[in-house]
Structure 1
Amino acid sequence: MIRSDLILRIADMNPHLYERECEAVVKTIFDRISEALAAGDRVEIRGFGAFSVTTTQAREGRNPRTGESVAVAEKKNVSFKTGKDMRQRLNPTKPETAEEIVARMLKAS
């Protein structure tokens, strides 16, 4: 799913909202997550997962063409760890029956 699909899905689920309002909501959420990560904070969305910032130390690398040593600067990366509910959805212990899938979908909407 891409960002525009998410906006359309939210708009479909909330017919009282205009698509541009749904777009503003999604943009605000993503911007806030980005701001928190840029500040070095951890962002946790219960049932989904947690985003955190990790730092890769500066090191000495090699240019693959010449074999020459190159200094690689320290970098910050975003890591994501899935939440327990998400892991269980991705790796169910037993296959879901059709009734369970329908019940889950009705509960979500």
Structure 2
Amino acid sequence: MIKNKEVNTKHIDKASLTSWTKESIVNEVFAPVLNLTAEQSMNVLESIVACIKGSLVMEHSVLIPRAGTLVVSHKSERPGRNPKTGEPHKISSRNVVTLAKKGRGKTCRINRSDMFALVYLEQPNVDQKQIDLAVRAFYQLIADVKQGEHRIEIRDFGSFTPVISGERMGRNPKTGEKVIVSERMGMHFQHSRQLRSMVNQYM
């Protein structure tokens, strides 16, 4: 029996996925469309990542079209267990970065045009059209993770990985009636240690 709001999430075997890194994104995604040198393309990509991280540190959510919204969430202290020994211990309060379906609360949300403006400030010598293409291409690559064919892993930032959300009980938003929501492909974001440290620096 499927319980209300119960979701069985399954990760896809990494070995079956194409892994995109900064180097492969620059060589196979940016190079064909930006008409920049490899060094210039890498600088643009690093600026995009740095601007996303900087926005999150400022507790601004970052909208990635057709993928979700990167948000900083606060988790309170709670009891837990050591996974190796099973001994109880307290998990301290912390901030985490998650990929939400929608932005939360009243925090400022950075959309794609905002991100373009931020990156252009970092790379004023690069043509605006090329920066716009780069931001669009990077965001599209993230959105395409939901197709279940590749994952993205950016060192010192995090990884976007496809996951399968199992069948669950939901509600019809118009009638309020319970309905079965079928299995679907989704995406999980796992922040890096560096990004975790950055969003917890000023707690």
TM-score if structure 1 supplies the norm length?
Answer: 0.67
Local SS of the residue matching 2:195: helix
Q: Flag structure 1 segments of 5+ consecutive residues without an equivalent.
A: 96-109
Counterpart among 134, 148, 154 of residue 25 in structure 1: 134
* Residue 41 (structure 2) aligns with: none
Structure 2 Cα separation of the partners of residues 75 and 49 of structure 1: 23
Q: Flag structure 2 segments of 5+ consecutive residues without an equivalent.
A: 1-109
Local SS of the residue matching 1:16: coil
Structure 2 Cα separation of the partners of residues 55 and 39 of structure 1: 9
- The 4+ residue runs of structure 1 with deviation greater than 6 A are none
Counterpart among 15, 23, 26 of residue 124 in structure 2: 15
Structure 2 Cα separation of the partners of residues 49 and 75 of structure 1: 23
Report the alpha carbon displacement of residue 2 of structure 1 after superposing the two structures with TM.
2.0
Greater Rg over alpha carbons, structure: 1
Local SS of the residue matching 1:50: strand
Partner amino acid for 2:138? Answer: I
Report the alpha carbon displacement of residue 62 of structure 1 after superposing the two structures with TM.
6.2
The number of equivalent residue pairs is 91
Q: RCO higher in 1 or 2 (8 Å CA, sep ≥ 6)?
A: 2
2:161, 2:189 within 8 Å by CA — same for their partners in 1? yes
Report the alpha carbon displacement of residue 12 of structure 1 after superposing the two structures with TM.
1.7
2:162, 2:187 within 8 Å by CA — same for their partners in 1? yes
Counterpart among 143, 146, 150 of residue 34 in structure 1: 143
* Residue 152 (structure 2) aligns with: 43
| Paired residues for 1:22-101 under 5 Å | 22-61=131-170, 65-66=176-177, 70-92=179-201
Structure 1 Cα separation of the partners of residues 169 and 124 of structure 2: 55
Partner amino acid for 1:83? Answer: S
1:61, 1:72 within 8 Å by CA — same for their partners in 2? yes
RMSD over equivalenced CA pairs, Å: 2.3
Structure 2 Cα separation of the partners of residues 58 and 4 of structure 1: 36
Report the alpha carbon displacement of residue 35 of structure 1 after superposing the two structures with TM.
3.0
Structure 2 Cα separation of the partners of residues 58 and 91 of structure 1: 35
Q: Which has the higher strand share?
A: 2
TM-score if structure 2 supplies the norm length?
Answer: 0.39
